Structure 1
Amino acid sequence: MGKASPFQATWSWRPFVACHLLALVLLALWLWEPSRALMDHFDFSLHHSLNAPLAEHSVWRGIWAVASTRPFDALTGLIMLSLLIRGDWVFKAVQTRAAIFGFLASLLLLLAIRFLYSSLCSHLGWQHDSISIYAADDVHLSQLFPSWDDTPFAIKDESARSFPGDHASVLLLWALFLCLFARSALQWLAIWGLALLFMLPRLVTGAHWGQDDYIGGMQVALLSLAWSCFTPFAAWSSDRLVRLTRPLFELLAKIPLLNRLSVISTRRLG
């Protein structure tokens, strides 16, 4: 694909198969009753340790209430995007445009895979309610901030269809995607630290079980990564999107300050 693309337009069979096998192993562990019981016990303990402090600390409640809203999700998306397009961090400056388009292509696959998987879960009776519905003495932030209902700041702390974790699947795909190209342990720590941090709000409020994320979300992310980055799909999609949007970026490159961004600068594309 040339130096301006980080992707290879070939099938990488070993990681492709490995992603599918790992997703199947996670599913088998989740369906096997002994391991599922351990997961349930772990998730209740995890949720209690995260949720119980909300009853005692008003500032802590406010922080997690804000973090459980759609505007905070948008802020999370901006942070994820900024790290994707930051030149010479994970991706070389010349590769940032192709990288962002490749990730967008991966996201499209994730939406399709998640829809199919969620439909399968509903059909097979694997779907379940949020842990907040089952946990005793659960602190429901939506009840503590009722004035936020019917506003953009409505708090999500329960759902009748919490598996797999859609929020977590996007974060996990982002982390796996970046780690394919990360070059240092510090980058890995920063990427996974942010991914886990941004997954916490849904776990604190009880909107999701832990297994919705580390089983369901990870399965969706692995399959999305496999079919995008270990096939020619990401390379093919990013190459065509780069070509299609070239006139737009040439116009944007004429705007002062904006043209200093790696993803926009035409000089960096050579």
Structure 2
Amino acid sequence: MNKPDLFQPRWNASGLILCNLAALVLLGLWLWPSAHEAMTAFDQGFYTWVNQPLATNTTWRYLWTVGSLRPFDAVVGLILLFLLIRGDWVFRAVQVRQAFWGFIAVLLLLLVIRALFSKLCDRLGWQHDSISMVMPNAVHLSDWFPHLEKTWELKDRSSNSFPGDHASVLLIWAMYMTVAARRAGQVVLVWALAALFSLPRLVAGAHWGQDDYIGGVLMALLALGWGYYTPFVAHASGWLTRVTAPLFNLLQRLPLVNRLSVISA
């Protein structure tokens, strides 16, 4: 019995145009002086609200310190992966493997777009320091836990803050899951997780809010548009599925592992 194809190798002009137009509108708003000033004022107020309690509230400080560590990113990645490859949740069990490779392909496209856009930002002077390096009286987690900054890559500052690369990955995952979601509850959970897991960088001050809701969204929209709404994802996921088939055939022989939809499909 043939498995149904998840992606079709065709152009979706309306989806592609919408994604690119939305990205251009966001960039235009960010470059418009009045809007940029409003965004900056909002980000400063939000940062003060969530960052200052780090100095006085031990629970708050420990919570966001853990969330800002590099190993926590791996935990987040596993959670996102679990939801992606969980059969018959967003994707049908027989389509999970193709969905997995489709996301990997779109994610790789995001990395290319991110690298090119970063070079454009450097060239045009759009790059800026983290909010924690600009705001007076900022509470730096790295000052409280200097050993964690070295050993576990605690991140609370950067001289290349725009766009938010961490947020762009969360957002492309959320958008990818949303276009395939079948129930409103799935969409709510996906976006709640994306918002929650983006907060540590904002609380610690590694990014301005606009690095995420402008830069991160912009990057994700471009990757979704050129990846999902063109033949790219169909061809890339199909090729990756065929190339890795021998590996997955071997994994099907492993107890417990072979119960995963991404393996057994």
Q: TM-score range by the shorter chain?
A: over 0.9
Matched to 1:121, the amino acid is C
Give the TM-score normalised by the residue count of structure 2.
0.98
C-alpha separation in 2, matches of 1:13 and 1:88: 29
Matched to 1:64, the amino acid is W
C-alpha separation in 2, matches of 1:257 and 1:176: 30
C-alpha separation in 1, matches of 2:213 and 2:6: 28
C-alpha separation in 1, matches of 2:149 and 2:184: 42
**Alpha-carbon offset, residue 136 of structure 1:** 2.1
Q: Does the Cα contact within 8 Å between 1:4 and 1:98 map onto a contact in 2?
A: no
Identity rate, percent? 56
Q: Does the Cα contact within 8 Å between 1:69 and 1:156 map onto a contact in 2?
A: yes
C-alpha separation in 1, matches of 2:23 and 2:89: 29
Counterpart of 2:238 in structure 1 is: 239
> Matches of residues 16-27 of structure 1 in structure 2 within 5 Å?
16-27=16-27
Q: Does the Cα contact within 8 Å between 2:149 and 2:155 map onto a contact in 1?
A: no
Task: Give me the CA root mean square deviation.
Answer: 1.0
C-alpha separation in 2, matches of 1:175 and 1:30: 22
Gaps of at least 5 residues in structure 1 are: none
Counterpart of 2:94 in structure 1 is: 94
> Matches of residues 52-63 of structure 1 in structure 2 within 5 Å?
52-63=52-63
Counterpart of 2:176 in structure 1 is: 177
For the pair 1:69 / 2:69, whether they are aligned, the reply is yes
Matched to 2:113, the amino acid is I
**Alpha-carbon offset, residue 150 of structure 1:** 2.1
Counterpart of 2:188 in structure 1 is: 189
C-alpha separation in 1, matches of 2:200 and 2:149: 17
> Matches of residues 213-228 of structure 1 in structure 2 within 5 Å?
213-228=212-227
**Alpha-carbon offset, residue 3 of structure 1:** 4.1
Counterpart of 1:80 in structure 2 is: 80
Counterpart of 1:46 in structure 2 is: 46
Matched to 1:46, the amino acid is F
C-alpha separation in 2, matches of 1:7 and 1:50: 42
> Matches of residues 104-143 of structure 1 in structure 2 within 5 Å?
104-143=104-143
- CA deviation digits over 1:89-140, x for unaligned, max 9? 0000000000010000001100100000000000000000000111122110
Matched to 1:234, the amino acid is V
- CA deviation digits over 1:72-103, x for unaligned, max 9? 01111111111110000000000000001000
Gaps of at least 5 residues in structure 2 are: none
Give the TM-score normalised by the residue count of structure 1.
0.96
Counterpart of 2:167 in structure 1 is: 168
Q: Does the Cα contact within 8 Å between 1:9 and 1:236 map onto a contact in 2?
A: yes
Matched to 2:235, the amino acid is W
List structure 1 runs of 4+ shifted beyond 6 angstroms. Answer: none
Matched to 1:205, the amino acid is A
Counterpart of 1:250 in structure 2 is: 249
For the pair 1:37 / 2:65, whether they are aligned, the reply is no
Matched to 1:11, the amino acid is W
C-alpha separation in 2, matches of 1:204 and 1:25: 27
Alignment size in residue pairs? 264
